[in-house]
Structure 1
């Protein structure tokens, strides 16, 4: 695997189209992931929380974090984190507690109900990983290569945002 795409790749036919296709795939994959999670919870008639909230519970896991850390650590990708946190606390999936040091800051962690959702999502992901590996769709080497490429794109996009501001 090449670490840097040579500049001449930009002039090759299809490079820009390939990049745009990758962007579309990333967006569609995220939406599909949410649909898969939603389907898992609808199948058992547990529609009290939505897929974004279930994924948030999964990502928080055993950590105790502030609302700001949810975004900075990559646990939450949406724009309405406060709404979702408030809803999860109201429904008993998360505990929240004001920081003793900074009263404006609220720390959150999962309740037993939240841990049960986290475990369900983890089981769903485990089943999917087993299915992909079992069918030869994706192996460890492919995952490592894909993750390395996506991390490089993430770093590049992050650098672009930092550069703008």
Structure 2
């Protein structure tokens, strides 16, 4: 049997890369797919929880907006940068949430173009539902041992590193 000769792999838009690096590139591509899939699954979990509670008036993205808003009063731009609202129009969702009574909004005194938003009591109730859901999931994951190896703190550190790298690339564009 002949020894395996390392071959360069072709990755779209990246040209040739060495065989050693190609494994890392493939792993990174899998990570990207997994991140997207995890986000969709998170939205599915939220949707199921609100259907179970008979609260179908909220979309999963709207529930995430309420959760991420927290007890702070922030601008719409700040809220947008906090969250993960894949493929959604945050301004549209904020307007809907105001109409449904989950968010209170008011124009900033100094800059009338800027709007500050905060949760109403009903919005805070939804946020508590979301927090309880996430706590149940964390407890279940802890009991199952899924979060042990590698430790979730290490995974989060790596994800923050990827985020920082992406932010640098975005700033480079402009």
Same fold? TM cut 0.5: yes
Deviation at 1:10, TM superposition (A): 5.9
Aligned to 2:26: 17
- The correspondence for 1:157, drawn from 158, 161, 166, is 166
Aligned to 2:132: 123
Structure label with greater radius of gyration: 2
- The correspondence for 1:104, drawn from 113, 137, 141, is 113
Deviation at 1:153, TM superposition (A): 0.4
SS in 2 for 1:14: helix
Pair 53,154 (structure 1): closer, same or farther in 2 beyond 3 Å? same
Q: Given that residues 65 and 109 in structure 1 are in contact (C-alpha distance below 8 angstroms), is that contact kept between their aligned partners in structure 2?
A: yes
Counterpart CA distance in 2 for 1:148 and 1:10 is: 27
Aligned length: 156
Alignment of 1:23-34 (within 5 A): 23-34=32-43
Counterpart CA distance in 2 for 1:99 and 1:53 is: 23
Deviation at 1:71, TM superposition (A): 2.0
Counterpart CA distance in 1 for 2:137 and 2:172 is: 38
SS in 2 for 1:70: helix
Pair 164,10 (structure 1): closer, same or farther in 2 beyond 3 Å? farther
**Cα RMSD (Å) of the superposition?**
1.6
TM-score (norm 1): 0.89
Q: Which runs of 4+ in 1 moved over 6 A?
A: none
TM-score (norm 2): 0.85
Aligned to 1:137: 146
Aligned to 2:83: 75
